[in-house]
Amino acid sequence: MKQLKPLWFKGYVTIKVMGHYPERFFDLCARRNIPVWSIRKQSELECLADVYVDDIHKLRKIRRQTHYKLSFVRKKGMPFFIKRLKNFHQLLISLFIACLVFLYLTQSILFIQIEGVPTEMEKQLLTSLNNYGIKKGKLKLLMDKPDQIQSKILTDYPNILWVGITPNGVNYQLEVITKKQPEVKERQQRTHIYAKKDGVISEMFVAKGRPLVEVNDFVKKGQLLVTGQLNHLNQNDEDDNTENQDEQLIEVEAEIYATTWYETKLEVALEGNYHIETGEFKNKYYLQFGSFKMPIWGFGSTNFEQEKIELDQHTLTVFDWTIPIAFLSQTHKEVEIINQERSVEQAVEIGLQQARQNLLRNLDQTSSIINEKILHQSFENGKVNLHVYFTVKENIVNTIETIQGD
């Protein structure tokens, strides 16, 4: 006979059967399909066995039809465990409330610390954090992620170079590094101006100094353009005036614009795929225990042909210990793939626009593109290859003093 394994959550009891030939009582139970296991004989008139709680009323019917006596020796299982817990319901309620308070205190922000800024700026940051939803007593689960808060602070405070945010238990720590303004020092006199690159002089504005070049002159990188030496010395006079040469140099102020040239090569595909969100989405929420995820909201499939999934995870931490329980939220957004085909003319225009943006990104704000010309254009493997030549107007004054060239 196969030994039955008791189910703890159903609950079972150990009964004692007393009477002549007590094993016959269990034979009657088997005939009426009542599960009985762990039958053991204590004496000629006593037997012990285990039965489920649900079958007790059936055993009592059999006992009334026989001369045997029944008694309960031991009770085990979840029904009896719950019954015992009911006697301590006040203690359990208090324990449950204490656990909720403990979780709230460990998962919320109680202190906000800001380091690296003066008191006035610290007050401004506290006000901004309050507007961002970072408040004392608020659950971290309901706050934005640190990288999102960091991005907002850097956007709202241009004078902040870097900010590090560390939610450490009940502390919300911010370490701020501001952009340090260089100390005002006595500026060394710029006595000479050199060309930053090759070009043809198009405009010159010399406030102080003696120009050595004129408009429409071609200059090379490192060539002296304006000097602070006002007196032009002859070779015979140089030896006599060497000691007074420094006294004859003045500070130079000038802006010199020249026509310069750039070449760039790029490829533009005639066919491209773009992902566009349709606006339809579905949220799903899970509780994660280790590697196991249990869905708690948002059941079923999304039925989106193409979708983009954004995952947000919130973990529980108690002091420095991370609890292996996390709350996951998944946002399934429907996307539509659009296959766009361009003509050669459209590809060329897009390529020129990209080339202009890349060039202007590397120039200062005073520079401008005068002219552009396509030197070579070819079509190969579904792509348009462009070789573009740009003519640019830019300031070629070298900002490095007393050093020729870059």
Note the pLDDT tens digit of each residue in 363-386.
888 889 999 999 999 988 888 999
Q: Which CA distances in Å does 147 have to 130, 154, 172, 283?
A: 16, 11, 13, 22
Q: Which of the residue ranges 6-10, 35-39, 301-305 has the most confident prediction, judged by mean pLDDT?
A: 35-39
Q: Is 74 a domain residue?
A: yes
Determine what percent of the chain is predicted with pLDDT higher than 90: 15
Residue % of the chain over a pLDDT of 70: 89
Confidence at 184, pLDDT banded by 50, 70, 90? very low
**170, 199: one domain:** no
Rank 78-87, 189-198, 380-389, 397-406 by mean pLDDT and report only the highest. 380-389
pLDDT band at 201 (very low <50, low <70, confident <90, very high): very high
Instruction: Write down the mean pLDDT value for the chain.
Output: 83
DSSP 85-144: HHTTHHHHHHHHHHHHHHHHHHSB--EEEEESS-HHHHHHHHHHHHHHT--TT-BGGGSP
In this structure, how many other beta carbons lie within 10 angstroms of the beta carbon of residue 51?
Answer: 21
Rounded mean pLDDT of 163-176? 86
pLDDT of residue 319: 63
Q: Six-digit token pair at 319?
A: 């002091």
pLDDT at 194 over 70: yes
297's enclosing H/E stretch is strand 292-297
Query: What's the CATH code of the domain at 77?
Result: 3.30.2130.10
Domain edge (last residue) among 317, 340, 363: 340
Residue 289 and residue 234 share a domain: no
Has residue 352 got a pLDDT over 70?
yes
| Cβ–Cβ under 8 Å, residues 198 and 260 | yes
Would residue 91 count as lying in a domain?
no
Domain edge (last residue) among 291, 309, 340: 340
For the cut 90, the answer to whether the pLDDT of residue 263 exceeds it is yes
pLDDT band at 405 (very low <50, low <70, confident <90, very high): very low
* CA atoms of 153 and 124, how far apart (whole Å): 11
The mean per-residue pLDDT over the stretch 105-129 comes to 88
**For residue 218, what pLDDT is reported?**
93
The span from the CA of 397 to the CA of 405, in Å, is 10
Confidence of residue 242 (pLDDT cuts 50, 70, 90): very low
Closest by CA to 46, choosing from 16, 15, 13, is: 16
Q: Which domain holds residue 305?
A: 272-340
Same domain, 284 and 226: no
pLDDT digits (tens, 9 = 90+) for 304-322: 888 888 888 877 776 667 7
What is the spatial distance between Cα 190 and Cα 225, in angstroms, rounded to a whole number? 13
Residue 22: alpha-carbon gap to chain centroid: 72
- Give the residue among 108, 107, 144 at the shortest CA–CA distance from 129: 144
Using the predicted structure, report yes or no on whether residue 401 has a pLDDT greater than 60.
no
Residue 361 lies in a domain: no
Last residue of a domain, one of 155, 178, 201: 178
pLDDT at 373: 93
> Could you tell me if residue 154 is inside a domain?
yes
Q: What confidence category does residue 259 fall into, taking pLDDT thresholds of 50, 70 and 90?
A: very high
pLDDT beyond 60 at 188: no
325/289 same-domain check: yes
Per the domain annotation, does 390 fall within a domain?
no
The predicted-structure confidence for 230-239, as pLDDT tens digits, reads as follows 765 444 444 5
18 and 54: one domain? Answer: yes
Span 318-345, mean pLDDT?
A: 81
What is the rounded (10 degree) CA torsion for 335, 339, 343, 344? 90
- pLDDT by residue (tens digit) across 14-70? 989 898 888 888 888 888 888 888 888 888 889 999 888 888 888 888 888 888 888
pLDDT value of position 228: 81
Query: Could you tell me which residues are beta bridge partners of residue 74?
Result: 14
Q: Could you give the angle at the alpha carbon of 84 between the alpha carbons of 82 and 88, nearest 5°?
A: 105
d(CA 176, CA 112): 13
Q: Which residue has the higher pLDDT, 181 or 331?
A: 331
Judge whether residue 215 has pLDDT over 60: yes
Residue 186 is predicted with a pLDDT of: 47
Is 158 among the domain residues? Answer: yes
Do residues 210 and 168 both lie within one domain?
A: no
Question: DSSP string of 323-357?
Answer: EEEEEEEEEEEEEEEEEEE--HHHHHHHHHHHHHH
Q: Answer whether 94's CB lies under 8 Å from 40's CB.
A: no
Mean pLDDT of 267-286: 84
Contacts of 177 (CB under 8 A, 6+ apart): 116, 160, 161, 162, 163
Tell me the residue ranges of DSSP E strands in 151-270.
160-168, 171-178, 192-194, 199-208, 210-211, 218-219, 224-227, 253-269
Residue 139 lies in a domain: yes
Structural domain tally of the chain?
Answer: 4
Q: Which carries the bigger pLDDT value, residue 223 or residue 241?
A: 223
Residue 222 φ/ψ region, left for φ over 0, alpha for ψ in the -120 to 50 degree band, beta for the rest:
left
Flag whether 362 is in a domain: no
336 and 277 in a common domain? yes
Tell me, what CATH number does 135's domain have? 3.10.20
